[in-house]
Amino acid sequence: MMADAIQIQVNGEQRGCQAGATVGDLLRELAIKTERVAVELNLEILDRKDFDHRSLKQGDRVEVMSFIGGGAPANVHGRGRGVVHAE
């Protein structure tokens, strides 16, 4: 059992996490590269430079969204922009 574990929610699912872990720690644990993701912590979109400075706390809600390149034809939803897909 994890010492000093806290419970957080990641993309809608409960998950245990080490107390004091940062968003960056979580992403590394999940093997998620930070270059093509957006992270929302408790409804606040974080700047990538803050991932290693924002500590996770009991009950935090984290949403990780990855960007998929390529876009879509102009007549499809999104008007040709890249698509955001939740991991």
Burial class (CB in 10 A: 0-12, 13-18, 19+), 17: buried
Q: Parallel, antiparallel, or unpaired: how do β-strands 83-86 and 61-68 relate?
A: antiparallel
Domains of the chain: 5-86 (3.10.20.30)
CB atoms within 10 A of CB 61: 13
pTM of the predicted protein model: 0.74
Residue 80 has what pLDDT? Answer: 41
pLDDT over 90 (residue 87):
no
Q: Which residues contact 63 (CB under 8 A, 6 or more apart)?
A: 10, 11, 39, 40, 86
Q: pLDDT-derived band of residue 70, with 50, 70 and 90 as boundaries?
A: low
Gap between the Cα atoms of 21 and 15, Å rounded: 13
